[in-house]
Every structure is written in structure tokens, then in C-alpha cells.
Amino acid sequence: MSTNKNAEPSFNQAVQLYFEKAAAIKKDSYPEGLLEQIREANSVYRMHFPIKLGDKYEVIEAYRVQHSHHKLPCKGGIRYSIHVNQDEVTALASLMTYKCAIVDVPFGGAKGGIKIDARKYDEYQLERITRRYTTELIKKNFIGPSIDVPAPDYGTGGREMAWIVDTYVTFNPNNIDAYGCVTGKPVQQSGIRGRVEATGRGVFFGTREAVSNAEDMAALGLTTGIEGKSVVIQGLGNVGFHSARIFAENGAILTGLSEYEGTIVDESGKGFDIHDVMRHRKETGSILNYPNAKSLDRNAVLELECDILIPAAIESVIHLGNANNVKAKIIAEAANGPVTPGAHQILVDNGIMVIPDVYLNAGGVTVSYFEWVKNLSHVRFGRMDKRLRQNARNKMINVIEAATGKTIDSSSRQFADEGPSEVDIVRSGLEETMISAYRDIHKVWRENEAVKDLRTAAFVVAIEKIAASYMGLGIFP
């Protein structure tokens, strides 16, 4: 097999290949044309708009792709990157369609992007670009709480989402659901607690569920559970950082970390303290030369020996040229498309478990769904029944004390009395979502002889759920 990375398919072609592999398994189950409808992007909006920056004008290139309208609204992030192009945005939109279906979030997939290097603009300039992009979406009816709901992605965050919602509200002052036009907003602007960490926490929940299966772990020469497993993480942005933090809090050992400046490998035997590593990076501008760590090239992180490798940066980092050098036993895809189709087959043939992106990084859209529901209901989670549950628990404690003749100490009573906060409810919902979705995928993987890996199983699950939606609408017999 060729080891030329450039010979591999584009990102969008790669997603299509994964889809076609699963579709071939299901082709005799559905009427003609249905699988083609699921595969194709429904709407592609490519735009150019001028922005005056200083004493000159700059023409900005941007996109919004709505891949599927089988459920509304459409849902997907907006990224700011100089590498944004139609192929990439279309690929990400299609992944969102399948991702939402897998985790039972009732959205069609979408994605947006602005082709800029955000580091070259000041805050005021970025705000102007963001507001103009939003205006273009409003003019073409490509945004709205019942139409298309963007979210943060690479290069964007709560700040940009706040600008978007403010612009939308300006154009739609009488829409009482206007704040549902975008998710990932700051909590103070009708956001939801737990959204910032959601993708990383979802990566943890999904991986934890995967490593809980004794038979699967025995095949990899591993024990069950997260505790004690060596974890390597590529990329320490929002997703990578929170993944690292949560894995470490649950007993994993962070043995390797990387950012664009390079890779560090733990030599202390204790694993990295992610908070201290980030402090070192803030002070020095780099993770390199961290105490008791070996510094290596940034790509070396992908070839370190470990139990779990988490690529959490960009697409296509594991490809035909390096797939045979991967020594991890499990690859947990936190990024979108970090493994190319050719590399994926090599990894599977080499006995490596790949937990696919189309499932594993769905934590972000899951909690975005919770935020959207909160915005439409106009009430925070827990407000209606927190005290009701609290009173019920107190009554139960009183009954137990009366029946046993023993008094429960004040600290235990206070713990029981507190009840779940909004973030507790959000995390619980995310945990349930990731566990249930993995079990759907695993069942298809283990019960269908034609399905050889988790990625194909995930796409089969997505196809089945989307097809059911279309047929339920009466579009196909």
C-alpha cells in the first residue's frame, strides 16, 4: 500500500467512503434513492462579503452547509480558520447529521466556516466579521431557532456566539425564542453550565464505556476501567484540555501531551498534572522543557506507546504514512476526522480499537441540545423540581431515622439535602446519552458479521435512524 499521504481522499471523500461502506450493508433494507438522499448535502451557501478594516476593504470568504433537513433545526458549529473550504465544511456538516442521529439528538447536520486567520485581527475586527457573517445568514434564512442553530467550533467560542445572538435579536426583536438561534453562549447570555467541557467529558464517558467491556479489553490485552491506563493526548485546546483533566481525575495516567510546538513525554512515572503543564505553557509560551519530561517533535506523540491515544486537534493526522507506527491499543477520536480511511483499515488490521469521532465527540452537540431546549422552555434545569426532590429526600431521611432509632449526621444530611444543580443534570444527561449510544453501536458491531469495526457500526446506526425519520415522514414508502 502506498504511504503517500497526498494520495488519500479529501476529508469529504473520506466521510463519503465511510458512509458507503455502511450503506452497502443496508442497501437491501431501504427503497431506491433513500440512501442517496441521506448521503447528499441539501443546501450549500458560499458567500463573499466586504469588511472595511482600517483604511482598506477586505473581502471575506465564508460558508454554511445544511447537510440534512430530515430533522429541524439543523445544527453545527462555525469555525474560523485559514484552511476553511467547501469540502471541509460539507464533510463536517455530514458528520453532524450522522452524529446527531447516533446520539438521538433531533437535529439535522450543518456546519459553517469563515476563511480567516483569527490571530491577524483584533477583537473589534473579529466582531465586525462575525456580525456581518450572521447578517448574511439571516438574509438567506440560514439561521434561527427552528431553522439552523450554530455553535462554537475551531477558532470560536462563547464570545463569538454572544455576538451572533445579539445580531440575530437585533433583526428579530419580537421572537421570544431568539436566544435559541445559537448555542455555546456564555451562561450570562442564556447559555448552559457544562457546555464548555462537554465534548471532552463526552470523550471520557464514551471511552469509559468502551473499556468497560471485559471481552473487548481481553482481546487488547487490557483490563477493564479507566484507572491506571496510560493516556496520550494530541492537542490541548478546549477538547484536549478537558479530556486530559477528566481522564486524570478518574485515575488515568497522562504519559504524553502535544501542542503545535512539540510533544512532551513523562519521565517521572507519575503522569502529567495537566494544570501544571498549562501553567508552564502560559509562563514560557511552550509545553516543551517541562520538568521531568522529554521533549520531542510534535508528530512523535502519535507513535508513543500507550493504552489510549486521543487525537484532539485536526483531521488526517494519522494517515498511510504513519498508521503502521501507531503503538496505542485504543484510539479515541476526539477531533473530527483524525484518521484517514486507509489508515483506519491499517489500524483495524493491526488489532487497534478505534472509537470513532462520529460518536465519541458528540458531547458538544448533546449539551448544545440541552441548551437549546433550555432556551425554548425559558427555564433552567432543576428550577421546577429541585425543592420538591429535596423535601422528598428529607422525608425519607426522617422515616429512616424513625425506623432505625439512629440519627444521620449533619454532613450526610446536608449532602442528601443539596440535590442536583444544573451542571449535575447536564452531566447526567450527557453520561446517559454517551452510554446508550455506545451500546447501540456495540450491539451492531457484535451482532452483524458484515460489520468489522466500531466506525462502520456507528454509520450503520446513523443510517438506520435517519432512514426511519424519512420513512416516517412518508417521503419514502
State whether 212 and 345 are in the same domain.
Answer: yes
The answer to whether residue 256 sits within a structural domain is yes
CATH of the domain at 100: 3.40.50.10860
CATH of the domain at 311: 3.40.50.720
Mean of the pLDDT values across residues 262-283? 93
Q: Which of 52-56, 79-83, 310-314 has the lowest mean pLDDT?
A: 52-56
Percent of the chain with pLDDT over 90: 79
pLDDT at 471: 83
The answer to whether residue 294 sits within a structural domain is yes
State whether 167 and 225 are in the same domain.
Answer: no
The answer to whether residue 445 sits within a structural domain is no
State whether 53 and 172 are in the same domain.
Answer: yes
DSSP state letter for 119:
G
The answer to whether residue 86 sits within a structural domain is yes
The answer to whether residue 476 sits within a structural domain is no
Q: What is the domain extent for residue 163?
A: 42-189
pLDDT at position 369 over 70: yes
State whether 230 and 323 are in the same domain.
Answer: yes
Placement of cell 520531542 in the chain? 296
Q: How many CA atoms lie within 13 A of 309 on its CB side?
A: 28
pLDDT at 290: 92
The answer to whether residue 463 sits within a structural domain is no
Mean of the pLDDT values across residues 62-70? 96
Given pLDDT bands bounded at 50, 70 and 90, which one contains residue 415? low
Q: Which of 50-54, 70-74, 92-96, 458-462 has the lowest mean pLDDT?
A: 50-54
Report how far apart, in Å, the C-alpha atoms of 435 and of each of 5, 125, 337, 352 are: 35, 42, 22, 21
Mean of the pLDDT values across residues 281-309? 93
Q: How many CB atoms lie within 10 A of CB 293?
A: 20
- Number of structural domains (the chain) is 2
pLDDT at position 92 over 60: yes
Residue-wise pLDDT for 403-412, tens only, equals 888 887 877 7
State whether 62 and 159 are in the same domain.
Answer: yes
Distance CA 469, CA 366 (A): 19
The answer to whether residue 397 sits within a structural domain is no
The answer to whether residue 124 sits within a structural domain is yes
State whether 89 and 140 are in the same domain.
Answer: yes
State whether 122 and 139 are in the same domain.
Answer: yes
Tell me if 446 sits within 8 A of 216, measured CB to CB.
no
Residue that finishes a domain, picked among 146, 170, 189: 189
State whether 182 and 204 are in the same domain.
Answer: no
Cis previous bond, 341, omega within 30: no
Point out which residues pair with 74 in neighbouring strands.
108, 148
Distance CA 361, CA 261 (A): 24
Placement of cell 507513535 in the chain? 303
Given pLDDT bands bounded at 50, 70 and 90, which one contains residue 3? very low
State whether 225 and 332 are in the same domain.
Answer: yes
State whether 152 and 232 are in the same domain.
Answer: no
Residue-wise pLDDT for 29-43, tens only, equals 888 899 999 999 999
Q: Which of 2-11, 35-44, 63-72, 291-300 has the lowest mean pLDDT?
A: 2-11
Amino acid at the residue 174: N
State whether 211 and 174 are in the same domain.
Answer: no
Give me the active site residues, please.
111
pLDDT at position 288 over 60: yes
pLDDT at position 477 over 90: no
State whether 265 and 140 are in the same domain.
Answer: no
pLDDT at 55: 87
Residue that finishes a domain, picked among 360, 380, 413: 360
Residue that finishes a domain, picked among 341, 360, 379: 360
Given pLDDT bands bounded at 50, 70 and 90, which one contains residue 474? confident
Contacts of 424 (CB under 8 A, 6+ apart): none
Percent of the chain with pLDDT over 70: 97
